[in-house]
Amino acid sequence: MRVATSDLEATDRKILELLARDGRMSFTDLGKATGLSTSAVHQRVKRLEQRSLILGYGATINHDEIGLPLTAFISIRPIDPSQPDDSPERLRHIPEIESCWSVAGEESYILKIRVPTPTSLEDLLARIRAAANVSTRTTIVLSTPYEGRPVT
């Protein structure tokens, strides 16, 4: 069920905004920020989860510190457009691929990847091309001024 943003109550929108900024925020702190009791916040969060407005909670990782400093976007397009559009399935097993987006334009998909070195990027590109029978175009990220900004 798709929910229009205008259908959200202001309090639910505030809860979503607060959790997007800090997914570990306690129900007590959410209550203080919204003027609700802890139990009322708990019920609202559970309802937002049930409505699939909250899909999960995660940690923000420092990829440089875990040895994956190189981020790149790889645009892929099938070498033979008459073949089935199954690139996401063919690439699912490659752990360096963090995200896969279906896009409009010349390419079919854009992949966000993280690797330790340029050599490992070169190896990854060869594996992607072989696994999905695609051509690639790569953009290397130099810096990330911001990412994952919460919806307000």
pLDDT band at 60; cut points 50, 70, 90: confident
User: What are the structure tokens assigned to 96, written together?
Assistant: 């360096």
**pLDDT at residue 7, rounded to an integer:** 65
pLDDT band at 152; cut points 50, 70, 90: low
pLDDT tens digits, residue range 83-96? Answer: 999 999 999 999 99
- The DSSP H or E segment spanning 135 is strand 134-140
pLDDT tens digits, residue range 96-149? Answer: 999 999 999 999 999 999 999 999 999 999 999 999 999 999 999 999 999 888
Q: In angstroms, how far apart are the furthest CA atoms of the chain?
A: 58
pLDDT tens digits, residue range 4-39? Answer: 555 689 999 999 999 998 999 999 999 999 999 999
**pLDDT at residue 106, rounded to an integer:** 93
Query: Could you give all domains of the chain from N- to C-terminal order, each with its CATH number?
Result: 10-51 (1.10.10.10), 63-141 (3.30.70.920)
Residue 43: Cβ within 10 Å count = 13
Q: Is 120 exposed, middle or buried (0-12, 13-18, 19+ CB in 10 A)?
A: middle
Q: How many percent of the chain have pLDDT more than 90?
A: 85
CA distance 35 to 107: 47
